[in-house]
Amino acid sequence: MTRQSWAAVILAAGQGTRMKSDLPKVLHEIAGAPLAAWPTTLSRKIGCDPIVLVVGHGADRVRQRLDNEQLSFALQEEQLGTGHALLCAEPALQDFRGTLLLLCGDVPLLQQETIEAMLAMHAAEQASVSLLTAVVDDPTGYGRIVRDGEAVQAIVEQKDATAEQQQICEINAGIYAFEAPWVFEALQSVGNDNAQQEYYLTDIVAAANREGKTVRALVVDEEEVMGINDRVQLAEAAAVMRQRINEKLMRDGVTLIDPDNCYIDGEVSIGTDTIVHPNVHLRGTTRIGAGCIIEPGVVITDCTIGDRAHIKSGSVMAESTLGDDCAIGPMAHLRPGTNLAGSNKIGNFVETKKANLDIGSQASHLTYIGDAEVGKNVNFGCGTITCNYDGANKFVTTIEDDVFVGSDVQFVAPVKIGRNSLIGAGSTITKDVPPDALAIARSVQKNVEGWAKKNKKSKK
Ligand code: UD1
Ligand code: CA
């Protein structure tokens, strides 16, 4: 491509009444990212700089949610139309000369190849305006493309279209490339003398034609330019996105037992030969290694997992790190700050939180390990509890290498257990234990001879 300088403006100021939501429309999510993040990410991948998001309805929340270094924001206080919205971005593009990509915050399925094809066409044809269109069965509600052969003469909105124009099935997708700063000058001449009394961005097409500039349209697949206006469309778009994500993973060597029932966010990465069973949710920045098995009903958010992990049914994990060869669950709960060095076993009904377990340590059943520093090859018996909280403050339990913890033990933190010691079953440990010791802290058993025979009522 000959032109090197691209900027992007993403329109996201509209209200989205049909979502019937307190949340601004562009913050509703598909595949783990808000709607407006998809065109933003796309613009970044294409190399646009700057990227300006025009916000209005719920501006503060949108800003807060999408805030990052690569984005600048322009405020459209009143939503006076798409043309007005683009003008609001002009101050942020004062010094920009080149091709301006205009995307919509509620069109998440657009693909990079499509935009690159439009930009290539725009450059090759030396166009001032290029746009994406689609031919649809039911064009109701969309702007119609009025053509004279190849040339696009104008875009007419549904409410302004004549009966004849309403028959046109080629619609405006609302995605454009413009030459800047020309587009801003031309927008000054666009008025709001139309059925909706809005400043229509679409009027730029007729304006370009009046000035003898070139306008080009690229016809694309309807699905890709689908705009989200209600929650039915939100679910449809989410399903398409899911399918794309899952197909890519399968082509890259991941087995999805039932791809229609895996919910994997766009940023998640999974190594080859990992098997993902149905009804698994992999969210956020989760990274999973090779050769893992993720059983049904597992929910993993923002975790890093090594190779050959076996995550059994019903386990829930967040913000945790696992080395290689770990076995988790069924029904385990790894809460934020759990770090397992490798070859660890965390069994059924075990909960961990802010706990570092070195290589080979395991807790197989019914245990809570919170605020704990645990060495290598520590074995937790069934029903171990770190009592980390006194109602006001949290305290740390430290357990050194090779400690064996009997069943039903409580560690009342802060407490430190020396290496290679053994904690007797049923103990409530309140004092530090030296290395290599046996610690028992439970009341001594007393047997009263004959008591039961005398006192227990025998069953008839
Ligand atoms: C617009 C197009 C129409 C096209 C359709 C595709 C115009 C006049 N019409 O119609 O030709 O077929 O998109 O979906 O452009 N927005 C703002 N500020 C505003 C108005 C809108 O930021 O003042 C944003 C919205 O948040 C949305 C986008 O612009 O992201 C499109 O707005 P929308 O109201 O959906 O446009 P339509 O009137 O449906
Ligand atoms: Ca729309």
pLDDT in tens, 291-302: 999 999 999 999
For residue 454, pLDDT beyond 80: yes
Q: What is the pLDDT of residues 414-446, one digit of tens each?
A: 999 999 999 999 999 999 999 999 999 999 999
CA–centroid distance for 96 within its chain: 32
**228 in Cβ contact with 163 (< 8 Å):** no
The pLDDT value recorded for residue 3 is 45
Pairing of strands 304-305, 287-288: parallel
Which ligand sits closest to the CA of 15? Answer: 1
Residue with tokens 């949108």: 62
Q: Which atom of ligand 1 is nearest to the CA of 84?
A: 23
What does the block give as tokens for 331? 């029904």
Spatial contact of 294 and 310, defined as CB atoms under 8 Å apart: no
Residues counted in the chain: 460
Residue of minimum CA distance from atom 8 in ligand 1: 200
Query: Maximum CA pair distance of the chain?
Result: 111
The CA-atom distances, in angstroms, between 341 and each of 166, 294, 320, 336 are: 65, 19, 11, 15
395 Cα to the center of ligand 1, angstroms: 55
Statement: residue 457 has pLDDT above 80:
no
Computed from CA positions of residues 285, 275, 317, 28, in that sequence, does the dihedral angle turn out positive or negative?
positive
pLDDT of residue 4: 61
**pLDDT band, residue 40 (cuts 50/70/90):** very high
Give the nearest ligand 1 atom to 227 CA: 14
Which two structure tokens, joined as six digits, stand for 392? Answer: 């006001």
Has residue 2 got a pLDDT over 50?
no
Is the distance from CB of 143 to CB of 160 less than 8 angstroms?
no
Distance 201 CA to ligand 2 centre (A): 13
How much distance in Å is there from the Cα of 131 to the middle of ligand 2? 16
> How confident is the model at residue 307, as a pLDDT?
98
Q: Which ligand is nearest to the CA of 187?
A: 1
- Letter for the amino acid at 445? Q
- In the predicted structure, residue 92 carries a pLDDT above the cut 80: yes
Q: Residue 460: pLDDT above 70? A: no
Residues with CB under 5 A from ligand 2 (ion): 227
Which residues does ligand 1 sit against, CB inside 6 Å? 11-14, 54, 56, 76, 79-82, 84-85, 104-106, 142-143, 155, 157, 171-174, 200-202, 227
Confidence bin at 456 (pLDDT 50/70/90): confident
114-150 pLDDT, tens digit each: 999 999 999 999 999 999 999 999 999 999 999 998 8
- Report how far residue 43's alpha carbon sits from residue 58's, in angstroms, rounded to the nearest whole number: 22
Residue nearest (by alpha carbon) to ligand 1 atom 3: 143
Q: What's the pLDDT score for residue 1?
A: 42
- Identify the helix (H) or strand (E) that includes residue 204: helix 203-210
Q: Is 270 a residue whose pLDDT tops 60? A: yes
Tell which one of 28, 82, 226 to mutate to probe ligand 1, the residue whose CB is within 8 A of the most ligand atoms.
82
**Which of ligand 1's atoms lies nearest the C-alpha of 16?**
26
Measuring from atom 33 of ligand 1, which residue has the nearest CA?
14
Check if the beta carbon of residue 80 is closer than 8 Å to that of residue 191.
no
Report which protein residue has its CA nearest ligand 1's atom 16: 14
The pLDDT score that the predictor gives to residue 458 is 65
Task: Report the pLDDT value the prediction gives residue 72, as an integer from 0 to 100.
Answer: 96
Checking if the pLDDT of 282 tops 90, the result is: yes
Residues 423/433, Cβ–Cβ less than 8 Å: yes
Instruction: Output helix, strand, coil percentages for the chain, rounded to the nearest 5.
Output: 20, 35, 45
- Strand 269-270 and strand 215-219: pairing? unpaired
CA of 284 from ligand 1 middle (Å) equals 30
- Of the chain, the percentage scoring pLDDT greater than 90 comes to 96
pLDDT at 379 over 50: yes
Is-catalytic flag, 281?
no
Q: What is the distance in A from the centroid of ligand 1 to the CA of 45?
A: 24
